[in-house]
Structure 1
Amino acid sequence: MTDNPMVELAAAAGVATIPFDYDNEVGGSAAAETFIEGIFDEALDADNPEGRPLSELLPPTLSPDQQWVISVEVGGEFGADPAQIAMAAPDEGEDMQGGDVLLNPGYSQITDHIAQGLDIRLNWTVTNIAYDDAGVTLTSASGQSLRADHAIVTLPVGVLHAGSVSFSPPLPEEKTQALGALHSGLLDKLWLAFDEVFWDPNVDVINWIDPVNPGQWPFWVNGYKIYGEPILLGFNSGDIARQFATMSDEQVVASAMAAVKGMTA
């Protein structure tokens, strides 16, 4: 992996990494993958790719295979549907080259590493950020305040949209307009643990084209190859994930199990 600052940070923290190969897969459709690659190429050559949705380039009717690959390559990558991202989006991240790795056991090792020596305030919910030429004052939900020369605000877009943190004075119009044009993606994950492995233990990814709902549960990560445990990790994104958010846990698990049975039959 090159040009990814997380690589050097993980090495400095002594984090173990596990190689992960998206091409080490079963299922799916090679023709559909060729289809989406063509759409991405066309998007990058289009006029005003930053201001036009990717959905403009899609045919009015999609085959099940095409719906599947859109869920994988668009939904899985951006947590959004083609109408919600610009044609320029597929080019993001192309400056980072090389293979992929997973962190073992997870990202907490990196946050623990960079937190060393810092004054971390947990359960200190910021409700107001007041700023002027002299500095910044943060006010918490409990009424406490903290003064600093500068503040780096990395609040999620959804939190900023909700208005749960106010700014004094209000943010400039150009920032609020930019914020209004940004939206949060949605990528849901579901871990399923089993008593034993009943799928191909040597692949990294298992693709699934549901014959009835081809965009649902489109790909699964083989946890056995990573952790040595009989685990599968499934994904849903965009509007499909929002539909699942209205279901009970039992309904979601039942849908996932139907997909697992179908892809391992």
Structure 2
Amino acid sequence: MKNVSLADVDHVERAVLPIGTDYAPGHLLDWHEHRRAQFLYGATGVMVVDTADGSWTVPPERALLIPAATRHRVRMLQVSTRSLYIEPTAVPWWPATCTVVDVPPLLRELLLAAVEFEAGYDLSGREGHIAALLLHEIAALAPLPFHIGVPASPDLSALCRGYLADPDVTVTNAAWAARTAMSERAFTRRFRRETGESPAGWRARARLLAALPLLRSASVTEVAGRLRYASPAAFTAAFTRAFGAPPSRFHRSSP
């Protein structure tokens, strides 16, 4: 199925409903949730997915596992998705929070085949076996670290979401503390309590996640400059430490 609404087929008695959707550049799927769990694969482009407690940046050819009934929004940057909507009872092993995963070649080919199915595909034939194999392949995937937590309290959440939208290297702990009418020491202690890391450490990770969409159309040197790293080498070292691969791996022209 392609470019159809889940609401139109959610009633169909299939544990796995594959749907492919093409989105206009910059399209925003505003806050919503699904009764089913979702395997959200970006065949092209970058997706930024927000929930109440975090933000996940999904590079090309990766996917996000979204638990059932999780309220979320998705910003699509040149994205065509291949999604699986899955009955929760069929995947008791599904993670309790959103999780980014790699999509190996076999899984990618299975997804591309599955979105050609009709809603009521034959469970006993080839299509049913592909649907079952998809779940086996997804269960074996390991999580990737393209995530950052967001505090639950409204004032800290607003600071963090604002920074994620526009990372500014000149922001200081003192400036954030002033905006919450707290001393810098009290603010830092509270921020660490809610997120598990310091404000400066959180901002550093947010800047690195912001690099992923930029790398689609800009070189490593250009992205390092935009995010105000001292040099491309410094940016590359920080990115590799955080994500386990150099930024060149995520550049659009990379294989």
Q: For the superposition of Structure 1 and Structure 2, which TM-score range results when normalised by the shorter chain?
A: under 0.3
Structure showing greater Rg: 1
**Structure number with higher relative contact order (C-alpha < 8 Å, ≥ 6 residues apart):** 1
**TM-score, normalising length: structure 2:** 0.25
**TM-score, normalising length: structure 1:** 0.25
